[in-house]
Structure 1
């Protein structure tokens, strides 16, 4: 598994903006990306973006992707900022819009298929409904008490927790246990290889 790919992150943000008619709320886009990363990880043993996830009050957030979604972010390298600015522009503090068709060549077929599946199930949710939905998943619930106690404003999440069963009202994440075991093994093996 390779590291974070900012081009894929920009194009995922762009993809979901286009799906919404050209513009989208940042929080909604980030939740759709988390759900896509989660589903791809469970089905294929790797997330789409391989971003660093943090649990915040409003749910899981892909940290580097969030930086790319914020037009006033000072953490971006010049190359990342220039690439982002070719495809996205800020509409308001909470929203951004696509200014160029997504470059889908950065994605695998499975990446695109999973993003389509996620949008088919969750595209009609608004940002706050997605935030509430995210609170049902074990990778976020693990930090719920700490977040509520205000011990810290965010906690680093572990991709291994994404493999835990979520009791939610749809079957998108109901993966055959044998496949889930295999994809988790693939993920863990790749994690070891990447740490060498």
Structure 2
């Protein structure tokens, strides 16, 4: 999120940010079989959404909200402002390949309006389903299958096992 806000200067529209973060994760899954954010996904009316990232955007992150706040300030209307002092060097938890994917995502979509970007995800992210006024979970196996990965079920199980291990480590 902070990467894209930096690209725009000091803030980014929440809808555009939501789409860019999802598209960066999707590109990462396509290239490396894992996402940058380690998030979960849902189909919402304006396209696919990273669920935990969306919660953080709205100040409702379940854990590590303080870490989020060191990069992104509280939502201001429909914008997400950068926290003071954030630079590209502040994003040192991102690997070079993460940064490459973020840069590639930015280059592809930077000139697309937020609503056009939402429409783009409806047309070109076949894992998205129209949820009406609600949301529908997007399973990793579905994303892998839509990206034509060889064994989507097994790949999704590996991600689930990694997540469980991370949660166990966080729980101490």
Does 1:96 pair with 2:83?
A: no
Partners of 1:122 and 1:138 lie apart in 2 by: 18
Q: 1:86 maps to what in 2?
A: 70
Scaled by the length of structure 2, the TM-score of the pair is 0.81
Kept after mapping to 2: 8 A contact 1:138/1:164: no
Kept after mapping to 1: 8 A contact 2:39/2:53: yes
Does 1:44 pair with 2:5?
A: no
Q: 1:187 maps to what in 2?
A: 155
Indicate how the Cα distance of structure 1 residues 56 and 111 shifts in structure 2: closer, same or farther if over 3 A, else same.
same
Instruction: Give RMSD over aligned pairs.
Output: 2.4
Kept after mapping to 2: 8 A contact 1:87/1:101: no
Deviation at 1:26, TM superposition (A): 1.0
2:121 pairs, out of 128, 134, 152, with 134
Scaled by the length of structure 1, the TM-score of the pair is 0.71
2:135 pairs, out of 150, 154, 157, with 154
Which deviations, in whole Å up to 9, do the C-alpha atoms of 1:84-105 show, x marking residues without a partner?
2222224622101112224222
- Please list, as runs of the form range in 1=range in 2, the aligned pairs for 1:1-196 lying within 5 A after superposition: 13-70=1-58, 73-77=59-63, 80-90=64-74, 92-98=76-82, 99=84, 100-102=86-88, 103-136=90-123, 137-140=125-128, 143-144=129-130, 147-148=131-132, 150=133, 153-165=134-146, 180-181=149-150, 187-188=155-156, 190-191=158-159, 193-194=161-162
Three-state SS of the structure 2 residue aligned to 1:39 is helix
Unmatched 5+ residue regions in structure 1?
1-12, 167-176
Indicate how the Cα distance of structure 1 residues 18 and 154 shifts in structure 2: closer, same or farther if over 3 A, else same.
same
Which deviations, in whole Å up to 9, do the C-alpha atoms of 1:150-193 show, x marking residues without a partner?
5xx00111122223457xxxxxxxxxx7xx438x5883462364
Which contiguous aligned blocks of 4+ residues in structure 1 show a shift greater than 4 angstroms? none
Partners of 1:104 and 1:186 lie apart in 2 by: 31
